[in-house]
Amino acid sequence: MHKTTEWLLSFSSEKSLKAPTRSLMTDGFKPCTKISITGGKGGVGKTSIALKTAQQLALAGFRTLLIDCDSNLSNTAIKLGLPLDNKFEKLLSAEAAFEEVLIQNGNFHLLPACNGSIELFESKLNFSEIIIDIISSHEYEYDYILLDCPAGVSREALTLNAFCDHRWIVVTPDKSSITDSYSLVKLLHARFGIKDNHLLVNMYQNDKQLLKVITTLSETIENFLGVRTHFLGGIQKVEVSAEGFDTFFLSEAKTEWQKNFVKLLYRFTEKDGGPTALRSHGVSQMAHEHDVH
């Protein structure tokens, strides 16, 4: 077994998780649900979906952390209209605490990475190990931790995806996106034994196209790899200018598009079981507020 695989599996096992404090144990809390938002190809809307999901879970009352795992091309803060900084460098060098680097807005916390950091580029740090160390140190503070993973099949991306409880593979109707998503699933299965993933189809034009993507990818994955694919949902393409896309996508307005996105999250949290402490008034309440049935 490869050294990285052994290291990853040691973190994945319950016995290696950081023990919670006594107060958390008595309050009945459990380790958070960890989700990677990933894809075989860039440009499929992964970061926007990660941000939207994190914000909606936070609005529903879940303590949610989003980690930007694109170590030196971080753009989550950019999409939120926030100024860029490389504070993450100080976290890596132990010059700043985790809490000092976080961007916090109520239940929504964001840990951005760096943008064009020469120091990070020239370092020999194993970024995936650092991220997993951060998660293992802070997972009892959150209900959900989402990873905006780099697209593709680099060792770093595969390791982070394999570490999570769930993988949301974002795919578009584009043939290269479908092919690259298959390659991602194949390598996760071959390298880490992952047999279960969620599929989220983004930017589809109509129901016929959506069905074709689902059928083509899920049947190919099952027939050739024996891997199970859960259909998470689809996000239909909207005609919005490039400049106004993030504003539209991250809006909380009760539009039909927003209702469909909330419905997608509602289905997932119902199947996942969700953090028990907040199930009674979480996404289900948000779904009712948006008239989702």
Judge whether residue 27 has pLDDT over 90.
no
* Residue 229 and residue 217 in contact, taking contact as beta carbons nearer than 8 Å: yes
Between CA 173 and CA 50 the distance in angstroms is: 19
Instruction: Assess whether pLDDT exceeds 90 at residue 252.
Output: no
Residue-wise pLDDT tens digits, 157-168: 999 999 999 999
pLDDT at res. 71: 81
Please compute the mean of the pLDDT values over residues 191-205 and round it to a whole number. Answer: 96
Check whether 239 has a pLDDT greater than 60.
yes
In the chain the domains, ranked by start, together with CATH numbers, are 31-289 (3.40.50.300)
**Helix, strand, or coil here: 246?**
helix
Among the residue ranges 61-70, 79-88, 130-139, 216-225, the one predicted with the least confidence is 79-88
Query: pLDDT at position 94, please?
Result: 86
Q: 254 vs 23, which has greater pLDDT?
A: 254
CA angle 143/292/209 to nearest 5° reads 95
Residue 14 has pLDDT above 50, yes or no: no
Q: What's the confidence (pLDDT) of residue 270?
A: 79
Please give the pLDDT value at position 247. Answer: 86
Furthest-apart CA pair in the chain: how many Å?
53
Find the mean pLDDT for residues 64-75: 89
Neighbours of 174 (CB within 10 A): 14
Q: What pLDDT is attached to residue 291?
A: 53
Helix 46-59 and helix 256-272, axial crossing angle in degrees, nearest 10: 80
Tell me: pLDDT of 24 over 90.
Answer: no
Share of the chain above pLDDT 70, in %: 82
Taking the C-alpha atoms of residue 236 and residue 207, their distance in angstroms, rounded to an integer, is 9
The confidence band for 77, taking pLDDT boundaries of 50, 70 and 90, is confident
The string of pLDDT tens digits covering residues 262-288 is 998 988 887 765 543 334 344 555 555
Give the highest mean pLDDT range of 122-131, 147-156, 234-243, 284-293.
147-156
Instruction: Give pLDDT tens digits for 114-146.
Output: 888 788 788 888 889 999 999 999 999 999 999
What is the tens place of the pLDDT at every residue in 82-108? 887 888 888 888 889 999 999 999 999
pLDDT, mean of residues 211-222: 96
Mean pLDDT of the chain: 84
- Please give the full DSSP string across 198-210, using - where no structure is assigned: EEEEEEE-SHHHH
Give 57's Cβ-side CA count (13 Å radius).
Answer: 30
Q: What predicted TM-score, i.e. pTM, was given to this entire model?
A: 0.84
Residue 247 or residue 216, greater confidence: 216
What is the pLDDT at residue 49? 95
